[in-house]
Amino acid sequence: MGSVHPEINHGRRDLIKLGAAGMGVVLLGEQALAEPKKGVKFDEEYDVIIVGSGFAGIACGIKCAEKGYKTLMIEKMGRIGGNSVINGGIFCVPQNDLQKKAGIKDSNELFIADCMKAGLGINHKELLETLAKRAHETYQFTLKYGAKYLDSLVHEGGHSVPRTYQTAVGSGAGIVLPLMERFEKMAGVALKTRTKFDDFVMDDAGRVIGILAREDYRFDSKLFSDDLENQGGTPKAFKATKAVMLASGGFCQDKYYRAVQDPRLTPSTDSTNHPGATAGVLLKAFGIGAVPVQVSWIQFGPWACPDEKGFGVGSMFNVNASFRYGISVDPKTGKRYMNELADRKIRADHMFAVIGKDENYPINLCDSQAIERLLPDHYEKALKAGILKKFNTLEELAQHYKMPVEAFKKTVTDYNSYVKAGKDPEFGKPTNMVDGITLSKAPFYAMRGTPKLHHTMGGLQINTQAQVIHSKTHQPIPGLYAAGEVTGGVHGASRLGSVAITDCLTFGMIAGENI
């Protein structure tokens, strides 16, 4: 294979000086590069280099810029914000102001218990405790920098109480864009898009002192592995005098590494993530001794639609309307098959069982009372795209999806009686969350549903200071921080909805505070 750093190779065939500290061993990667005696000749120098421009990167960037640090943020894609800018914009804050106003009793312990129940108990609890303590501050931090939220809370599946803010624009862009706008105006900051991290540069004491990267790089989603095959761009070496911070996200779109963890996933398995969500940075960090945590846990988002790509315009209908105020039915039987507000893993497992090998996608539906509670963005685009359909009667709906009409109507009658009785004896849906809304007011709205790869729970081990831990010392790797989906442990086996924003922003902020 050719080198992507030809000009670094040329004339740098000499040697890097390695220190003698520690347990003593040559730890040289397969393709270690010739380096000059006095270290890499850096092209540019910063205090801090942040890899990635989503929630975690931006929060860290602002904190660093607030301290006057010369801060470089690199983003490999042509646009900023990664998954953050396209996500649902729901942000979980235990013990928040709207809860207090509404008289909703919440506690840090209840929040942690909810997360650990979904996470099958293997969450790194000290990280959750940190989130619980800092979440409200994180929320205020986003307000200060221009984020705007609706004044009512979302009750996300798996949470014991409503504790989730919704951005006013109905997506993560409502946080990412205002924060990025402010970040870019701060003194001493630089943002480079189309700039891809290649590897770490370390000094003789094992400290991360910079990175190698490529500018003018173009991600190519047609490649099986862009990380492996794409050698485009102009190599540069960037020095980081204080720290390198990894905010590079998860690997739902890494056709190689996701299949290593779950070989059932084929290259064509769909995901809600943007195409650049690959494992490149994560794997490079393992290669300098970062500790792999729970990397095999991949979450499927149960609220996607098989009739469009990715998260699309349909998911928010299911998140906000059909699962909460409506039902999901198996079109073969016309019957419900799960608690529509169970956690994501449980719902995805049930949905996969319905879908089976013959792609019998469940039908998610609600009535007009539910639609009236939505932001227009949560259903109008889906209607226009033709993936959300409107029906004047339940019969019409059943016939369209080739469901047994009488069985389906009985399902609706039964469900409505459960809502009225305040108890779902069939699947245990918490009827206290549905605000008394039954399936009764025409027109009715329905969409086919499917789970899609949504979040990779595992990643790098960090401590509560957002420092990346080294497997050889069980101590932080000097000069290296990480936050968000590239890390592991916060969510355990399964992440609860709306905790991602809390995780990414809070640990991004903490990284910035500690650098």
Radius of gyration of the chain from its Cα atoms, rounded to whole angstroms: 24
For residue 512 the two structure tokens come to 């910035």
- Decide whether 135 or 209 has the Cβ nearer to its own copies: 209
- Report the distance separating Cα 231 and Cα 238, nearest Å: 18
- When asked if residue 216 is in the footprint of its own copies (CB under 8 A), the reply is no
139 vs 257, beta carbon nearer its own copies = 257
- Confirm whether 13 is a catalytic residue: no
373 burial (CB, 10 Å; 0-12 / 13-18 / 19+) is middle
Task: Give the nearest distance from C-beta 32 to its own copies in angstroms.
Answer: 4
The residue among 411, 426, 300, 286 whose CA lies nearest residue 355 is: 300
Phi/psi of residue 31, nearest 5 degrees: -110, 40
Binding residues for its own copies restricted to 65-124, rule: CB under 8 A: 121-124
* Smallest distance from its own copies to CB 209, Å: 10
- CB of residue 179 to its own copies, shortest distance in Å: 31
Reduce the DSSP state of residue 196 to 3 states and report it. strand
Binding of residue 206 to its own copies (CB under 8 A): yes
Stretch that binds its own copies, among 45-53, 286-294, 338-346, 391-399 (CB under 8 A): 286-294
Selected from 151, 204, 220, 372, the binder of its own copies by CB under 8 A is 204
Among 129, 150, 184, 286, binds its own copies (CB under 8 A): 286
Query: ω before 36 within 30° of 0 (cis)?
Result: no
Nearer Cβ to its own copies (188/478) = 478
Nearer to its own copies, 24 or 386 (CB): 24
Window 222 to 241, contacts with its own copies (CB under 8 A): 225, 228, 231, 235
Residue 494 phi/psi, 5° resolution?
A: -160, 130
Beta carbon of residue 249, minimum distance to its own copies (angstroms, whole number): 17
**C-beta of 32 vs 143, nearer to its own copies:** 32
The sign of the CA dihedral 118, 125, 170, 438 is positive
Q: What are the C-alpha distances in Å from 315 to residues 214, 323, 355, 382?
A: 35, 11, 17, 9
Q: Give yes or no for residue 294 binding its own copies (CB under 8 A).
A: yes
- Distance in angstroms (rounded) separating the CA atoms of residues 19 and 478: 14
User: Considering the complex, what minimum distance in angstroms separates the CB of residue 297 from its own copies?
Assistant: 6
Hey, which bits of 361-443 come out as E strands? 363-366, 389-391
CB of 294 to its own copies, least distance (A): 4
Annotated active-site residue in 258, 324, 336, 344: 344
Q: What track of x and - describes contact with its own copies for positions 365 through 404 (by CB under 8 A)?
A: ----------------------------------------
In the complex with its own copies, which residue's Cβ is closer, 190 or 259?
259
Distance between CA atoms of residues 2 and 377, nearest Å: 47
Contacts to its own copies from residues 11-70, by CB under 8 A: 12-35, 37, 40
- Which residues participate in catalysis according to the annotation? 344
